[in-house]
Amino acid sequence: MFFASDNASAVPAPVMAALLAANDGFAMPYGKDLRMDDLRGQIRALFESPEAAVYLVATGTAANALALASHCPPWGAVFCHRHAHIQEDECGAPEFFTNGAKLALVEGAHGKMTPETLAPVLERTGAGGVHGVQRGMLSITNVTEAGTVYFPAEVAALTALARAHGLPCHMDGARFANALVASGASPAEMTWRAGIDVLSLGGTKNGLLGVEAVVIFDPARAWEFELRRKRGGHLVSKGRYLAAQMQAYLDGGLWLTLAAQANAAAARLAAGILAQPGAALLHPVDANIIFAQWPAGGHAALQQAGAVYYPMPAAEGMEAARLVTSWSTTTADVDGFLAALAGALPG
């Protein structure tokens, strides 16, 4: 009953098998082995983008910060949601890698920017000429930190505003597969067809040991990205072990299968919580993250039952929690959680 983070899950068997298979003889280091060539082709095909540049790094923060720095000058503003991961959970990595760009925070219910909340921030930024920072780029997190999902049309509405100012657009897809599953969109529909220029394509939260891809749809930015990656200490030498993981992840749609499992577990968990008297969901549960509240008493019982998750501040007499499911969450985990909660709450 582990719902604290999808980062805590183990790695599915096909990924481990691929790692073992890759462990054979010599391979050219620094992303120059044949496996990386294959993977590049695989991702280009999957995204219907024959020219896309594809790179691998070991963390999501690296993927995001390098993607931003390659598309936004130091004096640019990165428009993002107030609670975006790049704002709240990366210890200033975007500022560090961009050499001091500013994050311009946009409001929006349930973790989502809207054209109405984005437009005024976009308008007033840079209006003071040389005295203020300039409009730099847009960054959209999908799945959001609130567990909601942008559909392609919503992404397109935001990128249209940014592109009207000539800005490049980034998607932080740490949980990209979960967003695809939730929306039914294809990789291309969710990204470049909706105006995205560069994608952080997560793998770790959805089952890999530690690999994220960066997909750059405009290959003119590729060489700068490579230099920034090396300079950031993110060019791994034995690239075969990263490429092998990502290949296994994408092969036969494993990534979508894993994400579907996580999303389904979250849906079952959310429905079960909602069925408790006095309980409520604080955000729509579109993917694998749940924010819920229930009458006081649940935490103690859940803890005793061995459930692990992050409690959240709640109103008087209530308790709240953030719960994250993963590919490895079982029905037994979900039902065990729900039973413990039901037992604690006044029936």
Site for a second copy in 309-328 (CB under 8 A): 328
Residue ranges in 150-189 that form contacts with a second copy under rule CB under 8 A: none
Q: Kind of pairing, strands 134-141 and 102-106?
A: unpaired
Residue ranges in 213-272 that form contacts with a second copy under rule CB under 8 A: 224, 226-228, 230-238, 241-242
For 345, the 3-state DSSP assignment is coil
- As given in the structure block, the two tokens for residue 280 are 């409520």
Candidates 183, 209, 166, 266; CA nearest to 56 is: 209
Are 259 and 249 within 8 A, CB to CB?
no
Residue ranges in 270-299 that form contacts with a second copy under rule CB under 8 A: none
The interface mask with a second copy, positions 68-87, x = CB under 8 A, is -----xxx------------
Contact between 332 and a second copy per CB under 8 A: no
Number of residues that bind a second copy (CB under 8 A): 74
Judged by CB under 8 A, which of 46, 188, 209, 318 binds a second copy?
Answer: 209
Vertex 141 angle, CA 270 and 165, to 5°: 145
Work out how close the CB of 159 gets to a second copy at its nearest, in angstroms, rounded to a whole number: 24
For 201, the 3-state DSSP assignment is strand
Judged by CB under 8 A, which of 40, 95, 189, 267 binds a second copy?
Answer: 95
Of residues 17 and 271, the one with the C-beta less far from a second copy: 17
Judged by CB under 8 A, which of 34, 41, 99, 312 binds a second copy?
Answer: 99
Residue ranges in 108-147 that form contacts with a second copy under rule CB under 8 A: 128, 130-134
Tell me the CA distances in angstroms from 164 to 21, 123, 188, 197, one per residue in order: 48, 11, 21, 14
Of residues 90 and 286, the one with the C-beta less far from a second copy: 90
Residue ranges in 5-24 that form contacts with a second copy under rule CB under 8 A: 5, 7-11, 16, 19-20, 23-24
Contact between 204 and a second copy per CB under 8 A: yes
Work out how close the CB of 161 gets to a second copy at its nearest, in angstroms, rounded to a whole number: 20
**At 103, phi and psi to the nearest 5?**
-90, 120
Q: Kind of pairing, strands 280-281 and 289-295?
A: antiparallel
Please report, as a single letter, which amino acid is at residue 122.
L
State the residue for tokens 């994408």. Answer: 250
Judged by CB under 8 A, which of 52, 65, 285, 334 binds a second copy?
Answer: 65
Neighbours of 37 (CB within 10 A): 12
